[in-house]
Amino acid sequence: MVGDSKVSRDGIGRRGRTGPPGRYAPLAEDPEFVQLRKRFLVAAAGVTAVFSGWYGAYVALSAFARGFMARPVAGHVNVALLLGLLQFASTFLLAWAYVAYARRRLDPLAEDLRSRDAGDGVTR
């Protein structure tokens, strides 16, 4: 099927391609690119795991610890409202931490790969 994203026009799947490699195929084998990709995946998985765990804990507490979540903290502000507001704060904190990590560990590698051969965009 032509419209299917997993099959090309000639009926060969993307992973089973027999034609010439793409323009950036040599880059996929480059050790610096492999390192960049690994660093990105580790950082993205870590941020996702932390946020998902924190959000899951909030939902679980809301569902199964209603007495705890209903405890007043100050006036009409209870634990649930406080933890809900901390969800927003943690989202911005994790985004800031990821950007700081990317600037420090990912961007220099990406810039090095980009500038290595700026003439035709192909490395090695």
Give exposure, 44-82, as e/b (b: 16+ Cβ within 10 Å): eeeeeeebeebeeebeeeeeeeeeebeeeeeeeebbbee
Q: Decide if 33 contacts 27 (C-beta within 8 A).
A: yes
How confident is the prediction along the chain (124 residues), in pLDDT tens digits per residue?
Answer: 454 455 555 555 556 555 567 777 888 888 999 999 999 999 999 999 999 999 999 999 999 999 999 999 999 999 999 999 999 999 999 999 999 999 999 999 999 988 886 655 554 4
Positive or negative torsion for Cα 61, 62, 66, 70 = positive
Q: Decide if 43 contacts 102 (C-beta within 8 A).
A: yes
Q: Would the pTM count as exceeding 0.75? A: no
pLDDT of residue 30: 87
Q: Decide if 113 contacts 123 (C-beta within 8 A).
A: yes
Give the largest Cα separation in the chain, rounded.
Answer: 69
Cα-based distances in Å from 68 to 15, 58, 71: 52, 12, 6
Q: What is the DSSP letter of 10?
A: T
pLDDT of residue 116: 80
